[in-house]
A = this chain, B = another copy of it.
Amino acid sequence: MPAIHIKNAYILTMNAEREIFDGGDILIEDGTIRAAGFLDPQSIPEDAEVVDACGRIVMPGLVNTHVHLSQQLGRGLGDDVDLITWLHERTWPYERSLTAEDNLVSAQACCLEMIRSGVTCFAEPGGQHVDTMGRAVEEAGIRGILARSTMDCGEGIPENERESTDQCLDRQLEHMENWHGKADGRISVWFGLRTIFNNSDELLTRTKELADSRGVGMHMHVAEVREEIDYTKTQRGAPTVEHLNRLGVLGPNLLAVHTVWITPREMDLFRLHDVKVSHCPGAAMKVLGFAPVPEMLERGICVSIGTDGAPCNNRMDMFDEMYLTAMIHKGRTLAPTAVPAERVLEMATIKGAEALLMGGVTGSLEPGKAADLIMIDMRRHPGSVPVHDAVANLVYAMRSSCVDSVMCTGKWVMQDRTVLTLDEQGILEEAQERAEHIRKRAGIALPERFPVRTR
């Protein structure tokens, strides 16, 4: 594979000094960044493929730390309903009706949306069909951490999802065997913990032991809804985070998602144990409530950004999530300086990589790291022109439609708005068709918002 030389770029490195190189170069060899900055022309191999990035931002691919690949075909099934309807009448029937082949298409469609919004690395919290998710990621060409949904206790679990603690762990170990490190290292497998409602203390502690011994992470929804805190206080004797602390589950390899209903002391515990957070602002606004993000950032907690799943957000789009992350907390705290653009950009790149225990691999453009990057056109979109301040513009004005090209491990996944790894129109047609069938099989009846006339 010949070297690639990207030149004339406005490079946001997101390195330790957060340096920006205006008109800089990136040299990529064997999928790895060899140099990023201003290069001596003589140091560039003569046969390097040259990419002129004039007028373009080149930055690390975005990291989406919480996205449900299996739920993509359920987008629009859970809008404007209360949480119980959302779960019992919409999401669970949908999940139960999803076949492995449906799940492949769901994962492909979700990867398409992520690629178009500049994501090169994501973490899935746990679906039913890890094998088809693995196939989709292999094909999509981006980097993914997969997990399996585990539920060994609690009320209301669909019959076909009820498992013993041993089964939960064994099946995850099996997936780890099959997929961890596959696709040239682009695929990892983590342990999934759905929520405290459905995870026994035994599952929690045994998962922590296994995750530590294997050097992988745990992905768990934590302090998500108000009812969760009532439940853990009553049933386990303390609110969720306090309880996880007593069990010894808090640690640098725990990725806690949502953390809306968390106390100041629990935030201190996160900081103490270097627990990572995935903030999902869209889902928070729509269903959960606003998370104390400025408060977590002040404590130095590693906070990253996730989109959550299509039935609860519904935009699987990191540009929109960056925008919301910067905006919500200003309105909530009436402090227009809260969560500024530069912090948001860190959360979506290097902090995301650190949250996924991949800070040494991706999340910034530095020598030795994988060539996971995106190119963004600063001049083409009425929605982002003029650019006075590229960092602010990225967060507040630009949208995913500004992303021109996406590279992962040195290979182009999208170039000039054409996705190279997946058959986009074919997948979208199949997604629409399968989604309608799933809805019918699941018996989900959506009320008519306006009267629909047919001929």
Tell me the A residues contacting B by CB distance below 8 Å: 12, 17-24, 37-38, 73, 75-77, 79-83, 86, 109, 112-113, 116-117, 226, 282, 284-290, 310, 313-317, 320, 323, 327-328, 330-331, 334, 336-337, 340-342, 379-383, 385-389, 391-393, 396-397, 399-401, 424-425, 428-429, 431-432, 434-436, 439, 446, 449-455
A342 to chain B: which residues have CB within 8 Å?
449-450
Is B450 a contact partner of A391 (Cβ separation < 8 A)? yes
CB distance from A449 to the nearest CB of B (A): 4
Known A-B contacts A382-B112, A432-B379; A451 and B17 likewise in contact (beta carbons under 8 Å): yes
Is A336 a contact partner of B428 (Cβ separation < 8 A)? no
Is B431 a contact partner of A385 (Cβ separation < 8 A)? yes
Known A-B contacts A396-B315, A451-B20; A386 and B435 likewise in contact (beta carbons under 8 Å): yes
CB distance from A266 to the nearest CB of B (A): 20
Give the contacting residue for A432; candidates B387, B401, B425; CB below 8 A: B387
Give the contacting residue for A331; candidates B284, B389, B424, B439; CB below 8 A: B284
Chain B residue, CB-CB nearest to A393: B76
Q: How distant is the Cα of A157 from the Cα of B84 in the complex, in angstroms?
A: 54
Across chains A and B, which 7 residue pairs bring their CB atoms closest together, nearest first?
A386-B435, A285-B331, A112-B382, A80-B340, A113-B382, A76-B388, A18-B450
Is A116 a contact partner of B382 (Cβ separation < 8 A)? yes
CB distance from A432 to the nearest CB of B (A): 5
Give the contacting residue for A424; candidates B313, B317, B382, B450; CB below 8 A: B382
Is A383 a contact partner of B113 (Cβ separation < 8 A)? yes
Q: Count identical subunits in the complex.
A: 2
Is A73 a contact partner of B386 (Cβ separation < 8 A)? yes
Q: How distant is the Cα of A396 from the Cα of B314 in the complex, in angstroms?
A: 6
CB distance from A235 to the nearest CB of B (A): 22
A23 to chain B: which residues have CB within 8 Å?
454-455
Give the contacting residue for A388; candidates B77, B316, B341, B401; CB below 8 A: B77
Give the contacting residue for A116; candidates B81, B282, B336, B383; CB below 8 A: B383
A286 to chain B: which residues have CB within 8 Å?
327, 330-331, 336
Can you give 11 A-B contacts (C-beta < 8 A)?
A18-B451, A20-B452, A22-B453, A22-B455, A112-B382, A116-B383, A284-B331, A285-B330, A328-B331, A385-B431, A385-B432
Is B383 a contact partner of A336 (Cβ separation < 8 A)? no
Is B337 a contact partner of A82 (Cβ separation < 8 A)? yes
Is A446 a contact partner of B315 (Cβ separation < 8 A)? no
A83 to chain B: which residues have CB within 8 Å?
336
